[in-house]
C-alpha cells in the first residue's frame, strides 16, 4: 500500500556508497516509501540506484507498489493480461 504524504519520514540514500554497510530495516522501509511516493519524478537511473539498495523482501514491496500504481493509472488491474473480457 502506498503511504500518503506526510505519513512517514523520507530519507534519501541517493549517492550512497554502494560498498557501504547494507541499509538497516528502517532505512529500507523509508526507501520503499521514497520510491513509492516519487515513482513519477525519479529518472530510471535514480529509481534503479535506490531500488538496488534493497533486500529481496523490500524489492517485493516496491514491485507491488509499482504494480498498484500501474493498475490505477490504467484503471484496470488486468491491463497486461492476455485474456479479453
Is the overall model pTM greater than 0.75, yes or no?
no
Full pLDDT tens readout for the chain, 85 residues: 444 444 443 444 444 555 568 999 999 999 999 999 998 899 999 999 999 999 999 999 999 999 888 888 877 767 667 665 5
At residue 25, the 3 state secondary structure works out as helix
- Give pLDDT, residue 9: 38
- Give pLDDT, residue 1: 41
Q: Contact at 8 Å (CB) between 30 and 11?
A: yes
Q: Where are the domains of the chain?
A: 25-73
Amino acid at each position: 500500500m502506498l503511504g500518503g504524504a506526510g505519513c512517514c519520514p523520507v530519507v534519501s540514500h541517493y549517492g550512497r556508497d554502494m560498498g557501504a554497510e547494507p541499509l538497516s530495516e528502517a532505512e529500507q522501509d523509508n526507501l520503499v516509501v521514497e520510491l513509492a511516493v516519487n515513482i513519477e519524478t525519479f529518472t530510471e537511473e535514480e529509481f534503479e540506484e535506490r531500488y538496488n539498495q534493497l533486500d529481496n523482501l523490500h524489492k517485493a514491496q516496491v514491485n507491488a507498489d509499482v504494480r498498484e500504481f500501474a493498475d490505477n493509472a490504467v484503471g484496470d488491474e488486468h491491463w497486461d493480461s492476455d485474456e479479453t473480457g
